[in-house]
Structure 1
């Protein structure tokens, strides 16, 4: 397994895990089999031209886009037990963490990853149990002929999603606490972020050291670092095709949050002037 820490803005970052080819297990777990079956069914439904399948796919895709990118990132990290099945020495093996050294200070990497690992654990645990416990209450919907019990499947899906994210967060916390992370500042990532930092006028002196640039970023206001076109570039640089979708989702969500925060701040200033 290899981890990628991708700064989306100067204060928000996406964590993403990519299994190494030699780590891909030939024996699928029951959860993996169910997940693959669900993915195949969903793909078939996406081909429908009309009808309830088309409506469900359209609604489902909108729902997935609203799921926080932090949850998607943690879901990409396999559970500790799953990783041990494909690599029995995992508990004693360092895991590479690729990141841009000119956007994140190496000294801060450990604390950033610890925060990502622990900040949402209570939320995922609480929502996981709520989703699973609430799902039987949707039983009456199953009595409606010809229409699947969508509320039930939605709650089961959300419970599973929170369960995956919770396991991923615990695995990441384990790696942080056991000091099993090996920070690797990737030169190609540094080049991409150097261009973005310069074009956004976040840095003006490109001759500064990575540590100095990272300090400037940390002390400044929260600003978006990536553009939508960068998502595919990241996927190519890191040889992780699935990362493109995750990065695009994160960029959209962070951009919307920053716009909402800026709007709220402007309204707050206007109200003060009116008083």
Structure 2
């Protein structure tokens, strides 16, 4: 299986696992859970295509909620859960993992450390939220008496419980891989080119039409980004939102596009919030300093 470690900024990264479709033998049916998920996805898409009505409004609100789910959770959910059978397949060598990353924008020595952090830092949160969602399910059952409209609160609790379960056990699988050093890390020149093109060009169209960046250009762009961090004091974006589609196309993984776009949007907002809070803190310090100076020198007022 291929993993992708995608730096979004100089301090934040997205882990993504290529989804491999399981081949079913003739006469074999997909697991019940997979069939339920596929049916729910098909229904959601049908509702999105409606021009109006409660189904259309529901999908609009739902998509806004999806954007608020942390990108780290979506990334861990892309990993297969750490079942006993799957861990045995990994330990026996039947299931292997390779992690691609852009070495021009992320040091190879930090890759496993970043992966391990992503694997373990949110496990306690996902475990807690999973059980909270399960606990709310019986409370939401009475909403089923509302005519016509499905029991949305109940289905939402089910969705969040399953989402946290997948993130929790996706993280456990990632932790198992890193603890036993079973991830083969591989620098990707193609990812370097895609990142460089995204930073050199202002739009997706311009990036498509431009020639491929040279290694020299990649090195120059990487140095510029490093300088902008001010000796690692500031978090700097390295991935553009529109570039997600180009990266997804390059690796023939169309479903990766939305994951990258969501992560970039969330990180951009987080960095902007941090800058605003830092500016406010500096202003408060300046005001406090001025008040202290005035108290020491009342004649100066």
TM-score, normalised to structure 2's length?
0.80
Give the structure 2 partner of residue 226 of structure 1: 239
The aligned residue for residue 260 of structure 2 is 247
SS in 2 for 1:80: coil
- Whole-angstrom CA distance in 2 between matches of 1:261 and 1:245: 24
Quick one: which of 155, 159, 162 aligns to 1:160?
Answer: 162
CA–CA distance in structure 2, aligned partners of residues 36 and 274 of structure 1: 58
Which structure has more RCO (C-alpha within 8 Å, separation ≥ 6)? 1
Partner of 2:114: 112
Instruction: Determine helix, strand or coil for the equivalent of 1:225.
Output: coil
* Cα distance in 1 for residues equivalent to 2:138 and 2:66: 22
**CA–CA distance in structure 2, aligned partners of residues 45 and 260 of structure 1:** 34
Q: 1:212 to 1:224 in 2, by over 3 A?
A: closer
SS in 2 for 1:222: coil
Moved more, 101-110 or 66-75: 101-110
Aligned pair 1:32/2:45, yes or no? no
Check whether the contact 2:102–2:192 (CA below 8 A) recurs between aligned residues: yes
Instruction: Report if aligned partners of 1:4, 1:97 keep a CA contact under 8 Å in 2.
Output: yes
Larger Rg: 2
Tell me how far apart the structure 2 counterparts of residues 194 and 83 of structure 1 sit (CA, whole Å). Answer: 40
- The alpha-carbon deviation at position 163 of structure 1 amounts to 0.6
Is 1:100–2:82 an aligned residue pair? Answer: no
What SS is found at the alignment partner of 2:268? helix
Shift of 1:82: 8.9
1:238 aligns with one of 242, 251, 257: 251
Q: 2:271 aligns with which of 241, 258, 267?
A: 258
Question: Unaligned 5+ residue runs, structure 2?
Answer: 203-215, 289-301
Structure 1: any 5+ residue segments left out of the alignment?
none
Aligned to 2:70: 68
Question: 1:247: Cα distance to partner?
Answer: 0.3
Q: CA deviation at 1:57?
A: 0.9
Partner in structure 2 of residue 274 of structure 1: 287
Is contact 2:97-2:183 (8 Å) kept?
A: yes
Residue 10 of structure 1: SS of its match in structure 2?
Answer: coil
Q: Which residue, out of 54, 57, 68, partners 2:56?
A: 54
Q: How far apart, in 2, do the equivalents of 1:268 and 1:237 lie?
A: 43
In structure 2, C-alpha distance between the alignment counterparts of 1:211 and 1:258, rounded to whole Å: 19
Counterpart-to-counterpart distance in 1, 2:144 and 2:22: 38
Q: CA deviation at 1:113?
A: 0.6
| C-alpha contact (below 8 Å) 2:199/2:240 kept by paired residues | no
Number of residue pairs matched by the alignment:
267
Kept in 2: contact 1:101–1:214 (CA 8 A): no
* Aligned counterpart, 1:176: 178
Aligned-residue offset at 1:139:
2.3
CA–CA separation in structure 2 for the residues paired with 1:212 and 1:229: 22
CA contact (8 A) 2:196 2:221 kept: no
Aligned CA-pair RMSD: 2.7
Q: Secondary structure at the match of 2:136?
A: helix
SS at match of 2:83: helix
Please, what TM-score do these two structures have when normalized by structure 1? 0.88
